Amino acid sequence: MSKEAISDFLNTPPSEMVTLGYVLTKQKASLLSLEYRDAPTMQMLYDISRVALEHEIQDEERTVEALLSVCENNQNQFKRIIEAVEEDGSDPKRARKYTNDGLTYNETCIRKYTKQLSNSSMPELLVLPPTV
């Protein structure tokens, strides 16, 4: 099915099959950009997809929030290490402590998210080649 194949059948309101073809060929995440957004079949299709994908959207948002939290914590830890090196000069004790704290935090995150991943139906993360 293509846009061209259904273009001759688009009228107001389009039939159910034409509406389905229209939605599939447009591939828009929102009704707002669609010409026939007020058609009942169009609204029904978008309601069905919204309900079907709602849990995936929430899972993705939680994943992004967790990733941002880890990145912010790591950023703060790196700032502490730089500050310790600049202030303490040749005495690496404080910088080493902050570095060890950062490593412990990362190891904890790795264990936590690896456990969650193994208990989840989510797909596995991509493993980068060792040269990256």
Please write the tens of the pLDDT for every residue from 77-131.
999 999 999 998 888 999 999 999 999 999 988 888 888 777 765 544 445 556 4
- What's the domain range around 67? 3-116
Mean pLDDT, the chain, whole residue set: 80
Q: Which of the 8 DSSP states describes residue 36?
A: T
Residue 123 placed within a domain:
no
**Whole-prediction pTM:** 0.48
Q: How far apart are CA 77 and CA 113, in angstroms?
A: 20
Q: What is the pLDDT of residues 47-84, one digit of tens each?
A: 888 888 888 878 888 888 888 888 999 999 999 999 99
Number of domains in the chain: 1
Residue 132 placed within a domain:
no
Residue 73 placed within a domain:
yes
Tell me the three state secondary structure of residue 113.
helix
